[in-house]
Amino acid sequence: MLPGIIDLHAHYNVNLLGERRVDEVEVNTLVYLANGVTTTFPAGEYNPERLLLAREEIDAVIRPGPRILPSGPYFGRSRPGWESMTDEEIHAEVADWVARGVRGFKAKGADPQTLRALIEAAHRHGVTVTGHLDSGFRGTINSVDAIRMGIDRVEHILGGVALDPERPAYPVWVQVDTASAEFRETVRMFLDRGVRFNATITAPVYFTELKEGFDYWVDEREFFTPYVQQMVAEREPRERNDLMSELYWAMRRTTKAFYDAGGGDLITLGTDNPSRGEFLPGFSAHRELQAFVLAGIPEASALRIATINGARAIGMGDLLGTIEPGKLADLFVVRGNPLEEITNTRNVQHVIRGGEVYDPGELLHRARGRIGPTGPDDREGW
């Protein structure tokens, strides 16, 4: 029996036609819950209204699903149609989204003025901010600057002074020396300020050749319509992307170095898997758990990362993340001991969310064959 998994980079969006991302909340909610993922923070939404409605229906037990802690739209260039806003406009928009139930915000492609105003406004309303950051190159934001602004979490890479502000982040990060003074200084700033790090180790794999752990224990392609399955089958074979492949290995070793330096309680789990028809983030939560162990982090610590660490990162440690009296009854039962073999978390037998018991097999049965257009005349909206 385990506390429910908390995914803090839980994209509900899919990109099945290669044209845009669309938030899909009818099936993804079932798949998340069937995998023991009982709390999700979407970390940026393309259809915020859709997520708010899904949350209302799930909370009212109209239909099953995990807790959705809405993140609202992106702040920055990743928001479709983004236009720069004044501080006053950002404060007003944040107040509006919080009043409607948003529990945190994500900055991506934001400039310093936008991020500073977003953090100030979010904290005024008691919610958190996370960021997909860069090196400071061409007006982007380095994690060190974001930490000084008061950001709560950082996605993907630690960054900081280990990066070159004259170059984009990822090509430098793949070569970062974890023994360097710059890396240690960056780690120290996270530790001193208590800033959380959402590692998303497996995220680069969705853009390159598959790695260990990317087998199907349930064929995730079956949850898409036959039309989407056919499109996926007809695609060109997956090719290696050198940068993304190297980034995966860099994220493994830097996450382990952060853990070894004392950051274990600050690491959280996030899948960051906007599906293209091959994998679904509900299942990918277990791949992310395995990636922590493959990186050298002990199984017990990986389970803490996926549960209590996430709960504390979103200010819900008093309600979620452990199994104990007084907390919400979010947990799942697996066959086998994940402390001996972490992939045993995949063997989900029962899921309990808010005291309601669910059969994962039944949830997955309801989900099969439903994601995506049914044919060429049904592509609008996807």
* Residue 31 identity: V
Q: pLDDT tens digits for 258-292?
A: 999 999 999 999 999 999 999 999 999 999 999 99
Percentage of residues of the chain with pLDDT beyond 70: 100
Let me know if 94 is exposed, middle or buried by CB neighbors in 10 A (0-12, 13-18, 19+). Answer: buried
4 touches 36 (CB < 8 A):
yes
Tokens found for residue 190? 């996270």
Q: What is the C-alpha to C-alpha distance for residues 156 and 252, in angstroms, rounded to an integer?
A: 11
Largest Cα separation within the chain, whole Å, is: 57
Q: How far is CA 322 from CA 3, 16, 325, in A?
A: 5, 36, 9
- Position 237 confidence tier, pLDDT thresholds 50, 70, 90: confident
Q: What is the pLDDT confidence band of residue 308, given thresholds at 50, 70 and 90?
A: very high
Give 108's Cβ-side CA count (13 Å radius).
Answer: 17
> Residue 193: is its pLDDT beyond 90?
yes
Per-residue pLDDT tens over the stretch 126-147: 999 999 999 999 999 999 999 9
Q: Are strands 104-108 and 22-23 parallel, antiparallel or unpaired?
A: unpaired
For residues 328-357, give the mean pLDDT: 98
The pLDDT, as a whole number, for residue 238 is 85
> For the chain, where are the alpha helices, taking DSSP H only?
28-34, 48-59, 87-99, 112-124, 143-149, 169-173, 181-193, 226-233, 242-258, 281-294, 299-305, 308-313, 360-367
Q: What is the pLDDT of residues 11-36, one digit of tens each?
A: 999 999 988 999 999 999 999 999 99
User: What is the span of the domain harbouring residue 305?
Assistant: 2-378
What is the chain's mean pLDDT, rounded?
97
Q: Is the dihedral of CA 333, 338, 342, 343 positive or negative?
A: negative
* pTM score, whole prediction: 0.97
CA–CA gap between residue 291 and residue 288 (Å, rounded): 5
pLDDT at residue 8 in the model: 99
Q: Give the integer Cα–Cα distance in Å for 159 and 191.
A: 14
CA-only gyration radius of the chain, Å: 20
Backbone angles phi, psi at 377, to 5 degrees: -90, 5
Position 4 pLDDT exceeds 90 = yes
Average pLDDT of span 314-322: 98
What's 305's domain CATH number?
A: 3.20.20.140
Work out the end-to-end distance of the chain between its first and last CA atoms, rounded to an integer number of angstroms.
38
Backbone angles phi, psi at 280, to 5 degrees: -125, 140
Q: For the chain, how many structural domains are there in total?
A: 1
Which pairing describes strands 5-7 and 37-40: parallel, antiparallel, or unpaired? parallel
